[in-house]
């Protein structure tokens, strides 16, 4: 239990609302994440000014998760490519 990181409280502002986030991540990371969410919400609101805050938040979540899933897929493809290259190099050195 001594190795467990102490949970920290970090207060951030997202779309004009204060939130206190409790977690193990450094405050700088929490603030960076909050700034990204705030920026995305403002970008989406600019394109869709009629959205209420709840719909804006849901649409922002969908957009952010879409970006994440695309990056996850790209990362997996790069890892597979790297693995295949290592395998091919290993086969070449056996010859």
Rounded to whole angstroms, the Cα distance separating 17 from 80 reads 42
The alpha carbon dihedral of 42, 46, 48, 53 has a sign of positive
pLDDT at residue 90 in the model: 72
Q: Which residues of the chain have pLDDT under 50?
A: 1-3, 95
pLDDT at residue 15 in the model: 97
Residues 6+ apart with CB under 8 A from 19: 11, 12, 13, 34
pLDDT at residue 92 in the model: 53
pTM strictly above 0.95 = no
pLDDT at residue 91 in the model: 61
Residue 89 is assigned to a structural domain of this protein: yes
Residue 3 is assigned to a structural domain of this protein: no
Residue 41 is assigned to a structural domain of this protein: yes
Residue 2 is assigned to a structural domain of this protein: no
Domain count within the chain = 1
């Amino acid at each position: 239990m001594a190795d467990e990181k102490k949970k920290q409280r970090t207060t951030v502002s997202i779309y004009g609302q204060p939130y206190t986030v409790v977690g193990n991540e450094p405050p700088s990371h929490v603030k960076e994440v909050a700034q990204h969410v705030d920026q995305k919400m403002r970008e989406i609101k600019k394109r869709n000014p009629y959205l209420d805050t709840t719909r804006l938040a849901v649409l922002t979540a969908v957009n952010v998760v879409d970006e994440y899933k695309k990056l996850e897929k790209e990362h997996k493809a790069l890892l597979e490519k790297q693995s295949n290259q290592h395998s091919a190099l290993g086969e070449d050195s056996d010859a």
